[in-house]
Amino acid sequence: MEKLAQLQAYLRDQQLDVAYVSDPETIEYLTGFGSDPVERVLALFVFPDQEPFLFAPALEVEDIQSTGWTHPVYGYLDHEDPFAMIAKDVRARITNPIHWGIQKNQLTVERLQALQAEFPEAQFAADLTSVIERMRLIKTPDEIEKLRAAGKEADFAFEVAFNTIAPGKTEADVAAEIEYQLKKRGVMEMSFATLVQAGKHASQPHGDTGMNEIKEHELVLLDLGTVHDGYISDASRTVAVGSLSDQLQEIYAVCLKAQLAAQNAVRPGVTAAELDKVARDIIDEAGYGQYFIHRLGHGMGMSEHEFPSIMEGNGLKLEENMCFSIEPGIYIPGVAGVRIEDCVRVTADGCEPFTHTSKVLQNVLK
């Protein structure tokens, strides 16, 4: 439990009595137990010099014990008051905990008020968000292996997509085939809803897969990823359906140039803002700057959107084993959208992509 030890050291350094970890994803990162408790309370309590414990719905207790978690786990039934029980378990370790660390970006107001009612003298001023982000920023060798495995699954998904896309098929047809073939290989979870957007529909970067029919002479944008042992893949490719107009060929070429240039610029010491600028300058100089309407990338690991943002104004310097996406896009309303994305790991002198599907413009009509 090296990660827990890091958090305990932080609590000692900051003279905090207890940390309340409320985000299920962070709990999985620190304990190895992953669950979506829905409306129920799942919480991890960490102390500087006392044994931590997990507090969970009773129906999760057996699962937690089977994961290798060696510290106490306390369960509660639906009719019981979870925060009254939490207060009892916390006070068994510290009679009057005053200084609390909480995840301010995760803990709901309702649950914070429930804690305050149980510990009226306590102060909940310390925010654990940044320390947990920093812990998750640099990936371990084990995490990197899981990301590589998820990347291979995404490459297979692209292969399925390229063999499925055809005029007359709907976006939903393609997405369904991708997920069906993955499930047949034992890949049971996507990291986010598989996105297939054809033609002008792809000019909406956060649009949805729908019943839009794929037509000849247009581009199809694919954005997909899988979950492998708790870690994700996230990648985008854009392909041609038959011959394309000069305009469509041009925006693809510009986007690809920007993506490759940014990926080649990755190395320790480069800032997130500098990397964003590499890609953005290329798209600006080609006259399409107004159509690149999002950051260059985002951190990834257990989630497809983690700290940090690779964007203008972020002076964070890249470090070895940071992992993030590089995904420039050009979205022209009423015309088309192009996005090309790989997630990468920063190496000592460059980067390693987790997906390897060719980025040369592919025509899926054989």
Q: Is the peptide bond before 97 cis (omega within 30 degrees of 0)?
A: no
Give the list of residues 6+ apart from residue 183 with CB closer than 8 angstroms, or none. none
Question: Mind listing the pLDDT tens digit for each residue in 63-91?
Answer: 898 888 999 999 999 999 999 999 999 99
Number of residues in the chain? 366
Q: List the strands of the sheet with 218-224, edge to edge.
A: 195-198, 218-224, 235-241
The pLDDT score that the predictor gives to residue 51 is 94
Residues 214-218 have a mean pLDDT of: 97
Residues 181-198 have a mean pLDDT of: 97
Strand, helix or coil for residue 26: helix
The pLDDT score that the predictor gives to residue 1 is 56
Question: Mind listing the pLDDT tens digit for each residue in 138-163?
Answer: 999 999 999 999 999 999 999 999 99
What is the rounded average pLDDT for all residues in the chain?
96
Q: Computed over its alpha carbons, how large is the radius of gyration of the chain?
A: 23
Bridge-partner residues for 196, per DSSP? 222
Question: Is the CB of residue 93 less than 8 Å from the CB of residue 85?
Answer: no
Question: Mind listing the pLDDT tens digit for each residue in 308-363?
Answer: 999 999 999 999 999 999 999 999 999 999 999 999 999 999 999 999 999 999 99
Q: Distance between CA 277 and CA 273 in Å, rounded?
A: 6
> Where in 203-318 does DSSP place strands (E)?
218-224, 227-228, 231-232, 235-241, 297-299, 306-310
Residue 116 above 70 pLDDT?
A: yes
Residue 300's nearest CA partner among 205, 226, 233, 365 is: 233
Kindly report the backbone phi and psi dihedral angles of residue 106, in degrees, each rounded to the nearest multiple of 5, phi listed first: -130, -35
User: pTM to 2 decimals?
Assistant: 0.92
